[in-house]
């Protein structure tokens, strides 16, 4: 980065977000979060993290985790995150995240805040809640540490993460009140149609990489025939006309995916299928998705492991420089000897 760019970055607002390398990325991750990051990187001083410390809050196979970290980094780049404009790094390469998490645990987060977190309740209820890791419970504080370390103004996420960003706001305010102005109070930012992409097999729940059935999601690496099958099997509502309404959540979800990937408006799509029924609509939607995924997959295959490791190494160096300054300031304020 040249000096002029470094100067410009000082005046730009900052954005930070991340995805866990805990499974294959799916259309919900892209349409709810990463698509927004791509458009924000020109306006903001942008940092995008691969949050491996969050991924280990549930069991991971070490070999697979290592592979997935590189795959998520490649996906960021292939989806349009430009390493020349945005900083991309792996969370565990920057020690300040776990340090700030611990400090916030002790001086800002309260059990009363944590017990309200719905993601923990949902995730721990899926297995034996008594066996859920302590890390899973503390996950939102680590996320607050991620955000607050980089003086983040705006956090682009899907709707399911808004409660966690709210917690980051609470912790920032509480710390600032006790120890003096230290953290920026961040804002969540959602996309419109993409903020909550629903499961293809159940339009009442969000599309999720930890869903039981593979017919819940379309991963970014799905082959064309798999996409055709998943869309054919996607549940639809009663009636046969292709119209957008809150009373027809399954169709609404498919229309949201169609509009976001094709850049055609919902109105245009409704007109295209006027009198033609679900069959044609679903066939065409599958092809729209396949076109997007095929060019994405080609770009992923063009990025070597060596190239992505180089990008992550320089990303970690820059992130460490920023985070070290902030963690030093925090340690000084809470009374550690520096």
Which amino acids are annotated catalytic? 123, 206, 209
Which residues are within 8 A (CB) of 262 and not within 5 positions of it... i.e. 6 or more apart?
Answer: 269, 288
Which of ligand LTN, ligand ATP, none lies near 28, with the C-beta cut-off 5 to 8 A by kind? ligand ATP
- Residue number, 157 or 290, with CB nearest to ligand ATP: 157
Residue with nearest beta carbon to ligand ATP? 32
The CB-of-18 to ligand LTN minimum distance in angstroms stands at 4
The CB-of-292 to ligand LTN minimum distance in angstroms stands at 21
The CB-of-155 to ligand ATP minimum distance in angstroms stands at 9
Q: Are 155 and 191 in contact (CB under 8 A)?
A: no
Which of ligand ATP, ligand LTN, none lies near 186, with the C-beta cut-off 5 to 8 A by kind? none
- Residue number, 139 or 281, with CB nearest to ligand LTN: 139
End-to-end CA distance of the chain: 31
The CB-of-172 to ligand ATP minimum distance in angstroms stands at 19
Which of ligand ATP, ligand LTN, none lies near 32, with the C-beta cut-off 5 to 8 A by kind? ligand ATP
Q: Are 2 and 33 in contact (CB under 8 A)?
A: no
Collapsed DSSP state (helix, strand, coil) of residue 206: strand
The alpha carbon of 87 is separated from its chain's Cα centroid by a whole number of angstroms, namely 15
* DSSP codes joined into one string, 74-89: HHHHHHT--TTTEEEE
Which of ligand LTN, ligand ATP, none lies near 147, with the C-beta cut-off 5 to 8 A by kind? ligand LTN
Which of ligand ATP, ligand LTN, none lies near 146, with the C-beta cut-off 5 to 8 A by kind? ligand LTN
90-93 CB contacts, 8 Å cutoff, 24+ apart: 90/49, 90/50, 90/52, 90/312, 90/315, 90/316, 91/18, 91/49, 91/50, 91/51, 91/52, 91/53, 91/54, 91/146, 92/52, 92/53, 93/312, 93/316, 93/319, 93/320
- Residue 298 tokens read as 């080609």
Collapsed DSSP state (helix, strand, coil) of residue 276: coil
Q: CA-CA distance, 246 to 30, in Å (whole number)?
A: 23
Which residues here bind ligand LTN, judged by CB under 6 A?
16-18, 20, 51, 54, 143, 146-147, 155, 157, 161, 164
- Residue number, 34 or 308, with CB nearest to ligand LTN: 34
- Residue number, 44 or 175, with CB nearest to ligand ATP: 44
- Residue number, 154 or 260, with CB nearest to ligand LTN: 154
Which residues here bind ligand ATP, judged by CB under 6 A?
19-20, 22-23, 28-29, 32-33, 157-158, 160-161, 194-197, 206-210
The CB-of-43 to ligand LTN minimum distance in angstroms stands at 18
């Amino acid at each position: 980065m040249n000096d002029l760019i470094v100067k410009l970055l000082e005046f730009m607002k900052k954005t930070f977000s991340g995805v866990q390398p805990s499974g294959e990325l799916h259309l919900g991750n892209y349409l709810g979060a990463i698509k927004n990051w791509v458009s924000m990187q020109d306006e903001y001083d942008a940092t995008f993290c691969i949050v491996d410390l969050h991924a280990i809050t549930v069991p991971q196979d070490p070999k697979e985790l290592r592979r997935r970290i590189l795959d998520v980094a490649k996906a960021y780049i292939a989806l349009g995150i430009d390493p020349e404009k945005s900083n991309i790094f792996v969370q565990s390469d920057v020690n300040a995240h776990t340090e700030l998490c611990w400090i916030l645990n002790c001086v800002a987060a309260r059990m009363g805040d944590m017990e309200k977190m719905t993601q923990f309740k949902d995730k721990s209820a899926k297995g034996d809640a008594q066996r859920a890791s302590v890390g899973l419970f503390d996950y939102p504080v680590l996320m607050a540490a991620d955000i607050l370390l980089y003086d983040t103004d705006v956090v682009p996420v899907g709707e399911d993460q808004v409660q966690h960003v709210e917690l980051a706001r609470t912790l920032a305010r509480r710390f600032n009140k006790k120890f003096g102005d230290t953290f920026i109070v961040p804002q969540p930012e959602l996309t419109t149609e993409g903020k909550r992409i629903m499961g293809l097999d159940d339009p009442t729940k969000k599309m999720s990489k930890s869903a039981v059935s593979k017919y819940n999601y379309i991963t970014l690496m799905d082959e064309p025939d798999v996409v055709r099958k998943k869309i054919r099997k996607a549940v639809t509502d009663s009636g046969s006309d292709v119209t957008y309404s809150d009373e027809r959540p399954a169709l609404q979800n498919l229309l949201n995916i169609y509009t976001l990937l094709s850049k055609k408006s919902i109105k245009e799509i409704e007109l295209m299928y006027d009198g033609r029924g679900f069959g044609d609509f679903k066939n065409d939607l599958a092809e729209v998705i396949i076109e997007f995924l095929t060019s994405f997959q080609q770009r992923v295959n063009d990025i070597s492991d060596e190239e992505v490791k180089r990008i992550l190494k320089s990303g970690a160096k820059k992130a460490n420089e920023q985070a070290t300054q902030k963690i030093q300031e925090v340690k000084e304020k809470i009374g550690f000897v520096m």
